[in-house]
Amino acid sequence: MKHLKLTLFVPGLLLLVAAQTNSKTTLADTTDSLSLKLEISDCEIDDDIKNTIALFKTGNVDEISSIIAFPLHREYPIPSIKNKKEFKQRFSEVFDEILIDKIVNSKCEQWSEVGWHGTMLDNGVLWMANSDGVITSVNYQSDFEKKLIQDLIAKDNQNLHVSLKTFESPTCKIKTKNYLIRIDELTNSKYRYASWKISEKESSEPDIILNNGELEFDGSGGNRVFTFTNKNYTYKVYRNIIGAYDTPEISLEVEKDGKIILTEEGELIPDS
């Protein structure tokens, strides 16, 4: 009988230990879960972000225009918004109901500070400066802007030299001190570089056409570089969206055998 009792007791003890072990594991998991919830609930929205959300809740376009850094760049070939007056006229083109709702109902965890680049909403839909809460970039395209782009492309195509009429989509037109430059995306995910002397027009035959361009993005702020090669020459076009106050919109850099032989600052040419 003693042997029988011992046999019955040991399994019971093992079950008790297992139950206690499971209890501890469950408690630890629960504690981790609670800690995560506390971290999320303790997340605080910055005052500048609160102000931005509040302004879009009111829908007061005049007040919203006071927190916009001009010019507010739009996707090429849509021209940039130059000032408050233009912003009020074109507000709904950029900030449709979808984007306004995204801003107004945004949560703390959707906003991220990205060093000197500023603070972004989601994956860069909207960017704000860290110092004063001014909106510096809006990387969103409304249905209105999508249609406008197609209309502008069709109009632009009429004035191009025949060698440039075939492309997937236009990327940008640039003016530097000495050159007029056009970059288009081709159907094979490559980019085309066409260049003229500054005094010439796009309807004339380009001095240079390169069809092997590659695009590389620098983070989620929209900065990018286009790289084209021509034998021992390399052409780089830097498109700067997020940068210091004096950062140019465009930087052109030409290398020969790995050595820089030309650098010129440039600016975007609006389509209209």
25-60 residue pLDDT tens: 443 444 344 343 334 345 678 899 999 999 999 999
Question: Cα–Cα distances in Å, from 20 out to 25, 26, 214?
Answer: 9, 10, 61
For residues 85-104, give the mean pLDDT. 97
Question: Cα–Cα distances in Å, from 122 out to 21, 127, 206, 222?
Answer: 41, 10, 41, 14
CA 150 – CA 17 distance, rounded (Å): 70
CA 137 – CA 114 distance, rounded (Å): 14
User: Per-residue pLDDT for 259 more than 80?
Assistant: yes
Write phi, then psi, for 202 (nearest 5 degrees).
-65, -20
Tens of pLDDT along 123-172?
899 999 988 899 999 999 999 999 999 999 898 899 899 999 999 999 99
How many residues are recorded in the chain? 272
**Are 180 and 237 within 8 A, CB to CB?**
no
Ranges of beta strands (E only) in the chain are: 111-113, 119-121, 126-128, 135-138, 169-176, 179-185, 191-197, 208-217, 224-230, 233-239, 250-256, 259-268
Return the closest-CA partner of residue 52 out of 70, 71, 65, 42. Answer: 65
Least confident piece of the model among 1-5, 97-101, 111-115: 1-5
Percent of the chain at pLDDT exceeding 70: 81
Write phi, then psi, for 253 (nearest 5 degrees).
-135, 125
Strand pairing partners for 263? 253
Tens of pLDDT along 206-256?
999 999 999 998 865 678 999 999 999 999 999 987 666 677 889 999 999
Split at pLDDT 50, 70, 90, the class of 75 is confident
CA 111 – CA 122 distance, rounded (Å): 6
User: Per-residue pLDDT for 11 more than 80?
Assistant: no
pLDDT of residue 211: 96
pLDDT of residue 42: 53
Instruction: Tell whether the torsion through CA atoms of 106, 107, 109 and 114 is positive or negative.
Output: positive
Q: 């780089």: which residue's tokens?
A: 236
User: Per-residue pLDDT for 61 more than 80?
Assistant: yes
**Separation of CA 35 from chain center:** 33
Q: What is the DSSP string of 27-88?
A: HHHHHHHHHHHHHHHH----HHHHHHHHHHHHT-HHHHGGGBPSSB--STTSPPB-SHHHHH
CA 260 – CA 237 distance, rounded (Å): 13
Domain spans of the chain, in order of start: 47-143, 159-268
CA 222 – CA 231 distance, rounded (Å): 29
pTM listed for this prediction? 0.67
Percent of the chain at pLDDT exceeding 90: 64
Half-sphere exposure of 245 (CA within 13 A, CB side): 1
